[in-house]
């Protein structure tokens, strides 16, 4: 039996399994933030991770019209990027508070979809349905979002970010948690 080295954090304490193979624990976000970059390589794909909020009120969904930058003038879901060391549900809760001023309990966020999108260097977009929150949704990022508006799920605006339209369409049609692909 040889020794397996994962390529991650080779400075960590090795573990032995029953077959006498040594494994090294991978780096964690905390260890990377502390400066341990063992195992961080450029030869493996890297993707951007977003969280997307399907805020549902009866049979309506909240959308915002983007302002400046990507998809300027197109409607999209309230969304944001995952920060290093942040779980996806925590990112969703943070983004909802930062962008809309609402508070969401983690138990009220139901995972409905992850989309692997070919845009740019690749993205993984997590979608969560939320039907219960506290506070009144309002546009707290007017420099990024022209307006927010409730739309009937069966009458979405014509000018929408295409992959967001696909994600909402899948949510309406299927509703169950799933993996979808876009642009591959």
- The structure tokens listed for 81 are 């990027």
Instruction: Assess contact for 73 and 63: CB atoms under 8 A.
Output: no
**What integer pLDDT is reported at residue 34 of this predicted model?**
73
| Whether this model's pTM surpasses 0.85 | no
Residues in the chain with pLDDT < 70?
Answer: 1-33, 37-43, 45
What sign does the dihedral 159-145-114-131 (CA atoms) show? negative
**What integer pLDDT is reported at residue 118 of this predicted model?**
85
- For the domain spanning 48-182, the CATH number is 3.90.79.10
């Amino acid at each position: 039996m040889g020794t397996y080295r994962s390529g991650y954090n080779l400075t960590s304490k090795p573990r032995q399994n029953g077959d006498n193979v040594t494994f090294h624990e991978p780096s964690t976000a905390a260890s990377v933030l502390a400066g341990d970059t063992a195992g961080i390589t450029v030869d493996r794909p890297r993707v951007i991770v977003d969280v997307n909020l399907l805020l549902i009120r009866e049979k309506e969904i909240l959308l915002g019209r983007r302002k400046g930058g990507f998809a300027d003038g197109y409607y999209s879901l309230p969304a944001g990027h995952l920060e290093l060391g942040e779980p996806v549900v925590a990112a969703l809760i943070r983004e909802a508070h930062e962008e809309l001023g609402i508070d969401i309990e983690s138990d009220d966020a139901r995972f409905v979809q992850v989309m692997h999108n070919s845009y740019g260097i690749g993205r993984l977009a997590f979608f969560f349905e939320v039907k219960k929150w506290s506070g009144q949704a309002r546009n707290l990022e007017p420099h990024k979002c022209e307006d927010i508006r409730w739309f009937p799920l069966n009458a979405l605006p014509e000018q929408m970010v295409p992959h967001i339209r696909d994600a909402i369409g899948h949510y309406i049609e299927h509703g169950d948690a799933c993996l979808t692909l876009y642009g591959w």
